[in-house]
Structure formats: C-alpha cells, structure tokens
Chain A
Amino acid sequence: MSLILNGDEVEAGGSVLDAVLAAGIELPHLCKDDNLPAIGACRTCLVEADGRIVAACSFPASMAKRVDTETKTARRIRRGVLELTLAMQAERGDEGGPLAGETASTASREGAAVDRFAVRTGRAVDATSPFFSFHEAACILCGRCVVACQDLQHISAIGLAGRGRDTRVTPGAADTFRESICTSCGSCVAACPTSALRPRGGAE
C-alpha cells in the first residue's frame, strides 16, 4: 500500500501515524504510546486525509490516498486542541504536566499559546504508594495509564471515573492507590506522557 504523504509517495501498512512517524515527520500524539493500541482521545495527531480531518493514530493508512500534516486547517485545529490541553495544568513549574517536557516542546512547535484558556484541573495528589505518586494537576486525561493497566497488564486498578469535565483518573472505586487492587507494576507510570504519574524517591 502506498499513499502520498506531504507530497511524497510512501509505503504504509499500519496507521497514518505510523506512516508519518516512519517518514520522520514530527506530529504530536499525546495519547498514543508507541507500545499500546491507539486510544484516540487526545486528538493532537490530526491530519488532513483526502480533504478530511482525521486522527492519524487510528486512521488506517490503507483508507487514505493523500495525507497532509501541515495544511492550514490541520495546523489550526491541532493548535486549538493543544491549547485546550495546556490549560489542564494547574501548577506552573511542576516537573510534569502538559507545560513540561515533551508536551511543552510539541505545543511550542505547533505554535500553541499557553494562556489562551484559563487553567482548569483538579489538584488532588495521591502519594500513598511508596513507588509512585499521582498528581491530578498534571493529568491531561489521555487514558494511557488506563490502557496500560487494563489492556496491557490486565490488572484493572485504574479507570477514568465519571464523565465530561468530571472525568478523573482514579484507582477504581478506592480512595487511594494503596487501598486499591494496584500491584504497583508501574506500567501506568511508564505510559504517562505528562508525569502526572511519576516515580517516587529512586535510589537511596
């Protein structure tokens, strides 16, 4: 299978995102872990495929003839989504969250403004596990931790409880990770793109 990607013909088998990344083109994909199935939640990998805006992570390359990552529309919409995402960080200067690390550099590359929207997010901290802690103020609800816990490890200690803006990452129905069925495998920590779940301590 081949498709025209940003004007060049490329061979592609999996998703459009696979093709884009294989071609060395930078494209945000906050909720797509390299090793986990697509979630399609963060909507930052939007591209134009045959005139439609699609999420590259879940759009099969075989269904596209022509894909452009840098059209004006695609860039504008990606930027808008990133701006909504950036407003999910409560603590400026935190080591995690969308304002730090990879997400921040992605956002700045895409020209997203950090202050278009007023900040909104919870501020709960769960430090009951000696292995990792959870900082809601850095969470963008991308769902990678949930996929790691439910679909990779099949533990199912983490879920996205509630809906709409009330959605929260929670250790199931438990109040804390310590009280939950969590086995502390840390796959969620590895999957988290914003260090909302982050390892504690380290070597003594």
Chain B
Amino acid sequence: MSQVAGLPLRFRFLPLLHEAHTRDGWLSREAVETIARQVRIPLAEAWEAATSFPEFRFAAGGGDGGGCGGLSCVVNGAPPSESVHARCRFRCFEAPVSGGEDDFPEEMIRLAGRLLAPDITGWDGLRAASSMGSARALDMIDRAGIRGRGGAYFPAARKWRAALGQGRPLALVINAEEGEPGVFKDRAVLCRRPRRFVEGLAIAVSVLRPAVTVIFINGEAAPARRSVETVIAGAGEVFPGGVEVVPGGGGYVLGEETTLLNALEGRKPAPRLRPPYPVESGLFGMPTVVNNVETIANLSILFREGEAPFLDPDPAAAGGSKLFSVSGRVARPGLYEMPLGTPLRVLLAAAGEKDGAAFAAVLAGGPSGGFLPASEFHRRLVPGLLHPTGAVTGSGGMVVLDTTSDLRAAVLETARFNARESCGKCTPCREGLPRVVESLAEGHTEGLDDLLEVVGAASLCGLGQMAPGPIRSARHFWPELFS
C-alpha cells in the first residue's frame, strides 16, 4: 500500500474503506479492523469513523432499495424518505429517480455561461497564472473578488493569504462531496467540464504550492471521479506533487470543512472546535485551504479572460456567474449558469412551470436555507441571506414547489433530513432536531420557536445552526401550515 508523501498512513483509511465497501457491498467488522491495522488507526477510532458515514452498510445483503428520498423526488411523487433507505441520489433533475449515479447528462446543462461553455483545451490559464507569479496571481484573484461557491462566499484570496501566511507547508483540499439534496453542479462540472476544473486546480497549485492536493469526492459519484481522474492522469507534469482523489462515504455534514478534514484523516466525521481555523491548522495540522469545485473552476476563467467577467458594478453581487441547480416542480430542471445577483424570478422563468401549475414556493439553499413564497421571487440571488427567516443563495440549489405540492410534507422532509444528517456530536443538534421533527409531525408547535432558537444558537456547526431556517421561514410565510 502506498503512503502519500508526507501524510500519515491513516490518510488511506477512507479510500480503503470505500474500496472494500464497493467490493463487498458492505463492511464487516473484520474488514474495518484489517484496514485499521493496515493504516495504524486504533480500533475504536476506526470503528467510530466508519460507522458515521451514511453510505456505508454494516450488514450483508439487502441493498438500499434503489429509491430516492430527496425533496425534489418527494415533490415529484416519490414516497417520503422515511419509507426508503436512500437519502438524496443527486439526480434531482430527473426526479423521481432510483438507482445509482450515471454520467451527468449534457442536456441538463440548460443555460451555459463561461463556466459551462464547451470544455477548454490546453493550459492557457495556467500559463498566464504561472508567468505572473504567485503574488501577482493572488492580487488578481483578490481584484476579481472571487468568493467561495460552496455557499459561504468567503473571499478566496483572503483564505489563501491566511494559509500562506502561516509559513508552513500547506494542504489544498477540494470539496466535491456535494451532499446537499437538490444540488448537482459539481458533478456536472466534473463530468462535463473536467478540463475547466482541472486547469483551475493547476492554477491553485501553482499559486499555493501545496505540499499535498486532495479532491474529496462523493463516494457514489463514480462517473465524476473517473472523469476528473482521467484528465488529471493526462495532465502530466502539471501536478508535480500529484493529486489525491479520495472518495467518501457520504454525509451532508461534510459540507462543514473541519468535518471533511476529519474524514480525510480517518477520524469520525464530526466538526472540530474553532479556533484553530483550517487555514491555521487543517489537514494533519497543516495550514489548509478548502475550496469548492466551482470556485476552483472559476480560476480558469479568470486567468484566461482576465478580471472583466467578475467585475460587477453591484458590490452586493460577488463577481462572476453562479451555477444554479434547479429541480422540483419545474418544466426544465437542470443547471443554469447565471450572474450572481440574478433575480430568483428570472431563474424560475427560465426553468418554467410544469404542467401549467403555478410556482408556490422555493426552498433556497436547501436544508440549511429557507422557503420563499411567490411574493419574494423578486429577490436577487446574492451571497448571504435572501430573507431573515433563512433563505440563502447558498450553493445555488433551488427546489421548486408548485400549487400541487404538499408544502407541509416538504418542510417535514427537510426537518427529517437535517435530523438524520446530524453527526451526533453536540446535544442541541442531535437531541433537538428529532424533537423538532416530532413536534412538526404531531402538529404540536407549542415551544417550537424556543426549541428552534436553542438548536440554532447552541449547535456546534452550521448544520444545526442553520437547520431551523426551512421551518422558521415556512412558519413565517405560511403561519397556518402547522397549526
């Protein structure tokens, strides 16, 4: 077994688990223990890590039934998630779905801008970045105002400078876990525009000079993984230090970057305390930059075409385009690349009503966002909150409900999703979210607002902190829903 230069053996834990799981269809105790010994992880640590990935199964036979319990599928007639094993299968554009992942269909790229334009050839962007040197390249990223497309919209240049400022060998980690129901943009980029992404990655590597570069990719997104691995393999000396592609075992909470780092280190995927922040001490203690696939892909545009595409006269809209994943009750579900700051109604108009039913609500930002009624569709999709009750642009997932949809069921489904995806580390999230679900399911909403406040304010990471959004927003806009 090869050891990644400079990294402890335990970095191999998750890939080996994934390999064994793919091979056997489940993980026996013996399999976990064997791998743990191989990578020198004490047994209990290995067991608690392995059993915390939702896509891993620990009993033979059965399978997961093939169904999908994601919200987009539920509003398109699939049974609610309680009755199927699977969480979202991330093919919301063809809901209701069943079965594993396929190559992302080209026709689901409904509206292409610069990022989703036909894939690039050559390394012009990389050459441009390399020729200007790290400092000037960083300044350029800064001037373009590129912000993180994972949903937090943190200025990329600031994050990079903070990591570089530590003066130690650093790690670059690309988060391609994409565990949010209703979002499929990273899979689309990796499957369909892999060169765009890989050039962006090469640029990041040339500027950051990381000691290790990792792409953490959803364990079931095999087509996306193969696609990006093929391009990287063909890139030759572009990545002198190599790129490690690590498949995971699922989990929405991996969107929280310290959780992702724990997963990569072969630890239980649960959030770490901050400080220290990843840019100070991340992967195995190295200063670590964690960026989203889409963020990285934008670097290719920047260094090929200059800052112009990113300069928006409206300072509220961070420059550049955004990939919106639109699903649910729309005529043309799929991926829409539009400028940040585009009004929601423009996006919805492009997607079109399905079967003539009027749009009734949008879940903006998924389980960590909030619902918006038609009266709010004029809002512009800018970074940050779209409405104080919870809706956010987030990573661009828009699940649309129309007049045929059961909004109450959708809210309940979202609450269930968060309760199920809680890592279980902190009390308010682990204990509070199931209570929220009970309260909603039984229609006993007395004390619910107080409970939501507790979960939102007391939880350790974003999952619990933002879980109240969909419920709070739904109760705000449709007060009769749970009374």
Contact = CB atoms under 8 A, between A and B. Distances in A.
B44 A149 contact: yes
A36 B246 CA distance: 32
Contacts of A171: 44
Given A80-B458, A165-B434, A167-B430, A160 B453 contact: no
A149 B432 CA distance: 27
Given A77-B454, A150-B45, A164-B430, A58 B273 contact: yes
Contacts of B391: none
B167 interface: no
A159 B270 CA distance: 13
Interface stretch (A5-13, A84-92, A125-133, A190-198): A84-92
B42 A155 contact: yes
A170 B47 contact: yes
A41 B269 CA distance: 14
A43 B423 contact: no
Contacts of A55: 273, 460
B44 A84 contact: no
A146 B48 CA distance: 10
A60 B275 CA distance: 8
Contacts of B251: 163
Given A76-B450, A166-B424, A159 B54 contact: no
B255 to A, nearest CB: 15
Interface string B36-68: 000000111111100110100000000000000
Given A163-B424, A165-B422, A84 B51 contact: no
B7 to A, nearest CB: 20
B427 A164 contact: no
B273 A40 contact: yes
A80 B460 contact: no
Nearest to A150: B45
Contacts of A172: 43-44, 46-48
Contacts of A77: 453-454, 457-458
A167 B424 contact: yes
B431 A162 contact: no
B44 A165 contact: no
Given A43-B460, A76-B453, A77-B458, A165 B424 contact: yes
Contacts of B424: 141, 160, 162-167
Interface in A153-177: 154-167, 170-173
A104 interface: no
Contacts, number: 149
Contact of B428 (A80, A155, A156, A162): A80
Contacts of A155: 42
B33 interface: yes
Contacts of A180: 43-44
Contact of A42 (B33, B269, B422, B427): B427
Contacts of A88: 431
Given A164-B419, A173-B47, A81 B458 contact: yes
B426 interface: yes
Contact of A163 (B29, B52, B459): B52
B127 interface: no
Nearest to B422: A164
B387 interface: no
B475 interface: no
A32 to B, nearest CB: 11
Q: Which residue, of A87, A141, A156, A163, has the highest number of chain B Cβ atoms within 10 A?
A: A163
Interface in B293-333: none
A165 B427 CA distance: 10
A96 to B, nearest CB: 17
B420 interface: yes
Interface in A67-115: 73, 76-78, 80-81, 84-85, 87-88
Contacts of A137: none
Contacts of B453: 76-77, 80
A164 B416 CA distance: 11
Contact of A150 (B42, B275, B428, B431): B42
Contacts of B420: 164
A43 B427 contact: yes
A17 interface: no
Contact of A43 (B47, B428, B451): B428
A15 B451 CA distance: 27
A84 B42 contact: no
Contacts of A164: 419-424, 430, 433-434
A140 B454 CA distance: 17
- Top 9 A-B pairs, shortest CB-CB distance: A156-B42, A159-B48, A80-B454, A167-B424, A172-B44, A159-B44, A84-B431, A58-B273, A173-B47
24 contacts: A38-B273, A40-B273, A42-B426, A58-B273, A63-B275, A76-B453, A78-B458, A80-B432, A80-B454, A84-B435, A85-B431, A88-B431, A141-B424, A142-B427, A156-B44, A158-B44, A163-B424, A164-B419, A164-B422, A164-B424, A165-B419, A165-B430, A173-B46, A173-B47
Given A160-B48, A165-B430, 9 more contacts: A43-B428, A55-B273, A81-B458, A84-B435, A85-B431, A156-B42, A162-B51, A164-B421, A180-B43
